[in-house]
A and B are shown apart, each in its own frame.
Chain A
């Protein structure tokens, strides 16, 4: 059974940092790009970032470039999202998802990030 389990969310002040983690199981992790998608309260989904199978290439939505960093550790079947200089508009549920064949097939349950003073 495929499982993606996110952790690391919480309440953080504007300008603060947070590191999200996602542990994968049930599939060949190193054969998939991995992606972070977020959903602000009562809003649609937003693609945030993805990372190539070997971690050699990373891509970001413009609004997080220079502030967020995606990384992965294939030995630990894990993908991470380091979020710095957080803003109120980064408040959202962050989902970890697989990315292969131009589709997000498997999703985690999400972790809530709240940026507020």
Chain B
């Protein structure tokens, strides 16, 4: 049950695209297509942005997309906007109804 590894911080200018990686193991990310991503603004509860690796809930901008290769999942934010500045957390199913979150990434819009 070790946390998934994310970069501590990622930054980009408005309009640019950024990617956030989420590296796990063959016991979690690598074994299941059940990676989700959450956006969290300071002092607020997390918000679901991506589930099942690449699906977006209703109401989430299509500027957010997800993918996976091997033991690493990736969140891409296209057309970066000031409102995207927040913390982002990945989460993977790890079997037997358990889950593991990532270490979290702070996104800064320059």
Which A positions have Cβ atoms within 8 angstroms of B? 33, 35, 37, 43-47, 50, 52, 57, 59, 61-62, 95, 101-105, 107-110
* Residue among B45, B102, B104 making CB contact with A95, cutoff 8 Å: B45
Which of chain A's residues have a CB closer than 8 A to the CB of B52? 101-103
Decide if B38 touches A59 in the complex (CB within 8 Å): no
Q: 8 Å CB contacts to A: which residues of B36-63?
A: 36, 38, 40, 45-48, 51-52, 57
**Subset of 15 A-B contacts with CB under 8 Å:** A45-B40, A47-B99, A50-B98, A52-B97, A61-B1, A61-B98, A101-B52, A102-B34, A103-B36, A103-B51, A104-B91, A105-B48, A108-B45, A109-B45, A110-B45
Smallest CB separation, B42 vs chain A (Å): 11
Decide if A107 touches B98 in the complex (CB within 8 Å): no
Which B positions have Cβ atoms within 8 angstroms of A? 1, 3, 6, 32, 34, 36, 38, 40, 45-48, 51-52, 57, 89, 91, 93, 96-104
CA distance A59 to B96 in the complex (A): 8
* Residue among A50, A103, A107 making CB contact with B97, cutoff 8 Å: A50
Which of chain A's residues have a CB closer than 8 A to the CB of B91? 45, 47, 104
Q: Which residue of A lies closest to B36 (CB)?
A: A103
Decide if B36 touches A102 in the complex (CB within 8 Å): yes
Decide if A45 touches B98 in the complex (CB within 8 Å): no
CA distance A33 to B89 in the complex (A): 21
Which of chain A's residues have a CB closer than 8 A to the CB of B101? 37, 44-47
Besides the known contacts A45-B46, A47-B98, A107-B45, 12 further A-B residue pairs in the complex with CB atoms under 8 A apart: A35-B99, A43-B104, A44-B6, A44-B89, A44-B102, A44-B103, A46-B3, A61-B1, A95-B46, A102-B51, A104-B38, A110-B45
Decide if B47 touches A102 in the complex (CB within 8 Å): no
Chain A at the B interface: SS class: loop
Smallest CB separation, B41 vs chain A (Å): 12
Decide if A45 touches B57 in the complex (CB within 8 Å): no
Q: Which residue of B lies closest to A57 (CB)?
A: B97
Which of chain B's residues have a CB closer than 8 A to the CB of A35? 99
Smallest CB separation, A1 vs chain B (Å): 14
